[in-house]
Structure 1
Amino acid sequence: MNQDTARTLFEHGAFLILQDVPEGTDFGIDWNSWVTGPKFEGVKMIPPGVHFVFYNTVSKYGGQPAPRTGFFHNFKSKEIMVKRWSPQTEELLDQHCIEDELTAIRGKLQDLDKHLAAYPYDTLKKWVSMTNELTADVTEKLQPDDRKIRSVLELLPHESTPDDMDTGRTRPTDKDGLPCLNVNPTTVIHFSPIPEQWYPPGAKPSEMTQHSMDSSYVLSTLLARYEKPENILGELQFTFVCFILGQVFDAFEQWKKLVRVICFCECDLNNHIDLFKSFVTVLYHQINEIPVDFFVDIVSSNNFLVSTLSRMFNNIEASCFDEELQAKATKFRKYLTKKYKWKFNAEPEDWAPVVVEL
């Protein structure tokens, strides 16, 4: 990067100022990560848009790192975000600066420059391709109330009841005498609810069978939750980032559910042509970031993606009227077959629908 380009990015990019971060902390933004040194004070030249910042501390005495914590933020051009490390909670806490304080920090940016890591622009294209459908609105809708993505949910003691007080227990316990704990609701990610049963209330037995084979109903229900149909792909990208970078396993489970719902849509497929075209592109970029054997079930040896994509490819081949989508799906199928040696044939026996007898 030449000096003129660097100067322009410095003047128009955003700044993440991090105060008192312990040396040796694993820290990252988007697809980049580092181990912090003694003089690390943040990141400069962050391009405008949605980004994911993550970190976990490592004990100076060795051992396993602490669970990962991260946050999404829609950085504006020239924005200055300030956070300070809390030794008590081992988290980065917001520092709400007034305008005069921000002006003072902005005046010292040149002096801070040598302590700030430059955003690696050689990975920006990759980040954009992985989050092109992830808007600030979708991020705001999905992220927890406390705006932190945690690999391990925060647990709180169960509140005492009058019965507990009568028995002399200050805190309720389970059958083994251990304290009862509840998940802190402010730390829960607001994933779109996906019902286990894909048929509508009051469906007849024959309709249950049809809906169990075709996800059109549940997909339309999900799309109605969003302002735009493509926002479901934003959630797909949100869950992927939360799993790969945030190390949130529940996000991977949500990602699989969303993929299956989209792939099993048959009757309404031609009503969502643009959605399916974009879905193929999103999946293409995501699959390239995961080891080829990652989706293989260690018990059944079935590959989730092979089974699920087989249904989508069959649906497009049999029911799609759009030649461009047909060509795109065929190209994607050939790519996966060539690169990963995946064979898209019949689905596993345990995926077959249960036929309800009248």
Structure 2
Amino acid sequence: MDSQTALELVKNGATLLFLDVPQYTLVAIDTQMFSVGPAFKGIKMIPPGTHFVYYSSSTRDGKEFSPTIGFFIDVGSSEVIVRKWDQQEERLVKVSEEEDGRYSHAVRNMEFDRQLGPYNLSHCEDWKRLSNFIRKSIIERLEPIGGEISVECENDVFRNTPKTPMEEALDKKLNVGNSEASVGKFQRKGCYYTSIPRVVKCKGISGKELTSLNLDKTHLLETLLASDYGGSEDLLLGELQFAFIAFLMGQSLEAFLQWKSLVSLLFGCTEAPFHTRTRLFTKFIKVIYYQLKYGLQKDRKDDMGPPLLDDSWLSTDSFLHHLCKDFFSLMLDGSVVDGDLLKWTRKFKDLLESNLGWEFQQSSAVDGLYFDENDEYAPVVEMLDDEAPAV
């Protein structure tokens, strides 16, 4: 890149100015990560738009790290965001309005230029595919009070939730916020995610009708789109992307559960993909394809990047394998399927088969009875025999 082009990118791009951050702290934005050295003061040349910033403080020897803290931003051209390290709370905090103005002016005058790491523009395409439905309005709607997302705020998120073996491992790995210090430091509420009912309950209908509503989540999807998303499919997809990023990069258990809820809702629909919501499902499959393509990559060239999905995702016991098995059977056995939806479904299936070694052999499009007994997203089946218990 020539010097003139670089100068234009510096002037037009947004800047994160981080003051007094301790050495060895991991600071990241989107899909790229920096290890703080003695001269580090932030990141420059950030493209306008939505981004996720996250960091983890380190012990003095740089060998152990605290739980990740992250927040979404939506920045304009030449915007400067200033944060200062609070030594006592071990986190980045906002500065006064006077300091903000003074430091922003200094950044625009290039006074910190040599101490700012450049945003790697070669990562832009990956990030856009992970976040293209996230808008400022979605961030404001979902983010917690104060904007910070951290597993330390989520001590009870899994307490009363049935867990598969994969989720037990995830809980153990990330649930590091149970210490008294953590509880005292973070007394904030989590994100304001949309509530997705696990079980459809309707009064005055037969057991057979109730079973049908729970085996095909189309009615629930339509209800939620109307009541919680104002009819906007893109708002739902934006929340799906928000949750995945907060989980994968922000290491949030709460975000994982919301991502799982939304994925389970969409993969649980059997009528909507063919009739009322074909366009939504084409976009959804593209979203989850790029999420898992990024999260499951094995041979990443740069070690400095966000954590990827670990080996627990390789198990065929995971909820995702069961849901995909049904959905692929539904799509590939359908007599009339939209061309784009079918193309992306096949592409997604190929990704899972090649990256995870999963096999999708199934005799029934909607089975549901092979789900793990601890999986709260297994389809609800109302037994018609009064002597038999409901599953």
- TM exceeds 0.5? yes
Instruction: Map 1:92-111 onto structure 2 (within 5 A).
Output: 92-98=92-98, 101=102, 104-108=105-109, 110-111=110-111
Which residue of structure 2 aligns with residue 302 of structure 1? 317
With over 3 angstroms needed to count, the CA separation of the structure-2 counterparts of 1:95 and 1:345, relative to structure 1, is same
With over 3 angstroms needed to count, the CA separation of the structure-2 counterparts of 1:319 and 1:195, relative to structure 1, is farther
User: Could you state the TM-score of these two structures normalised by the residue count of structure 1?
Assistant: 0.84
Which residue of structure 1 aligns with residue 209 of structure 2? 207
Q: Distance in 2 between matches of 1:186 and 1:206?
A: 43
Which residue of structure 1 aligns with residue 200 of structure 2? 198
Aligned residue identity for 2:370:
E
Q: Distance in 2 between matches of 1:61 and 1:327?
A: 50
Q: Is the 8 A contact 2:80 2:104 kept in 1?
A: no
Q: Is the 8 A contact 1:199 1:217 kept in 2?
A: no
With over 3 angstroms needed to count, the CA separation of the structure-2 counterparts of 1:27 and 1:201, relative to structure 1, is farther
Which residue of structure 2 aligns with residue 73 of structure 1? 73
Which residue of structure 2 aligns with residue 327 of structure 1? 343
> How many percent of aligned residue pairs carry the same amino acid?
30
Which residue of structure 1 aligns with residue 300 of structure 2? none
SS of residue in 2 equivalent to 1:34: strand
Deviations 1:110-131 (A, max 9, x none): 2210011111111111111111
Instruction: Give the drift of 1:134.
Output: 1.4
Higher mean alpha-carbon deviation, 218-227 vs 78-87, is at: 218-227
Q: Is the 8 A contact 2:153 2:188 kept in 1?
A: no
Aligned residue identity for 1:343:
E
Higher mean alpha-carbon deviation, 221-230 vs 287-296, is at: 287-296
Which residue of structure 2 aligns with residue 64 of structure 1? 64
Aligned partner (choices 282, 285, 303) of residue 287 of structure 2:
282
SS of residue in 2 equivalent to 1:295: helix
Aligned partner (choices 211, 216, 219) of residue 217 of structure 1:
219
Which residue of structure 2 aligns with residue 267 of structure 1? 271
Which residue of structure 2 aligns with residue 126 of structure 1? 126
Aligned residue identity for 1:266:
T
Aligned residue identity for 2:153:
L
Q: Is the 8 A contact 1:153 1:183 kept in 2?
A: no
With over 3 angstroms needed to count, the CA separation of the structure-2 counterparts of 1:32 and 1:334, relative to structure 1, is closer
Deviations 1:271-290 (A, max 9, x none): 11111111111111111213
Instruction: Map 1:1-358 onto structure 2 (within 5 A).
Output: 1-61=1-61, 64-98=64-98, 101=102, 104-108=105-109, 110-153=110-153, 186-224=188-226, 225-227=228-230, 228-269=232-273, 270-288=275-293, 289-290=295-296, 291=309, 293-296=311-314, 302-317=317-332, 318=334, 321-346=337-362, 349-350=370-371, 351=378, 353-357=380-384
Q: Distance in 1 between matches of 2:37 and 2:349?
A: 45
Aligned residue identity for 2:247:
F
Q: Is the 8 A contact 1:26 1:34 kept in 2?
A: yes
Question: CA-atom RMSD, angstroms?
Answer: 2.6
SS of residue in 1 equivalent to 2:34: strand
Aligned residue identity for 1:85:
W
With over 3 angstroms needed to count, the CA separation of the structure-2 counterparts of 1:103 and 1:52, relative to structure 1, is closer
Q: Distance in 1 between matches of 2:51 and 2:129?
A: 13
Q: Distance in 2 between matches of 1:56 and 1:107?
A: 27
Aligned residue identity for 2:120:
P
Instruction: Give the drift of 1:79.
Output: 0.5
SS of residue in 2 equivalent to 1:271: coil
Unaligned runs of 5+ in 1: 156-177
Q: Distance in 1 between matches of 2:108 and 2:348?
A: 51
With over 3 angstroms needed to count, the CA separation of the structure-2 counterparts of 1:296 and 1:207, relative to structure 1, is farther
Instruction: Give the drift of 1:61.
Output: 4.8
Q: Is the 8 A contact 2:286 2:344 kept in 1?
A: no
Aligned residue identity for 2:16:
L
With over 3 angstroms needed to count, the CA separation of the structure-2 counterparts of 1:39 and 1:263, relative to structure 1, is same
Runs of 4 or more, structure 1, over 4 Å off, are 181-185
Unaligned runs of 5+ in 2: 156-179, 297-308, 372-377, 386-391
Instruction: Give the drift of 1:259.
Output: 0.7
